[in-house]
């Protein structure tokens, strides 16, 4: 099972916090740069979001969920919580 996280970010602190999370593959779209801004807006526009951080989670290439600042006070902490629950499920299935 491969967990991918696409994250639209706008500062080094958000990137640092996300990089501390282990066990997933990240792709960052940094809005401070031209290419990052284009990719971040494309990602967020799929879901009608505007604020950062914006996080999309896929499992084995299939959509799982999104976490975004318009709904969550701390999307990065919510991501950690979701990943913890996923790991418990994976461990239960594996045993």
Q: What would the pLDDT profile of 31-90 be if each residue is shown by its tens digit?
A: 999 999 999 999 999 999 999 999 999 999 999 999 999 988 999 999 999 999 998 888
pLDDT digits (tens, 9 = 90+) for 15-46: 999 999 998 999 999 999 999 999 999 999 99
Q: What pLDDT score does 41 carry?
A: 96
Closest CA to 8 of 35, 41, 34: 41
**Distance separating alpha carbons of residues 61 and 36, to the nearest angstrom:** 21
Structural domains of the chain in order of their starting residue, each with its CATH number: 3-94 (3.40.30.10)
pLDDT at residue 94 above 90? no
Give the pLDDT band (50/70/90) at residue 91: confident
């Amino acid at each position: 099972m491969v967990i991918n996280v696409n994250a639209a970010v706008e500062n080094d602190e958000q990137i640092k916090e996300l990089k501390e999370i282990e066990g997933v593959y990240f792709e960052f779209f940094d809005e401070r740069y031209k290419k990052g801004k284009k990719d971040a807006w494309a990602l967020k526009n799929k879901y009608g979001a505007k604020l950062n951080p914006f996080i999309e989670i896929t499992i084995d290439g299939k959509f799982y969920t999104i976490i975004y600042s318009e709904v969550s006070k701390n999307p990065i902490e919510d991501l950690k919580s979701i990943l913890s629950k996923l790991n418990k499920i994976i461990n239960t299935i594996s045993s």
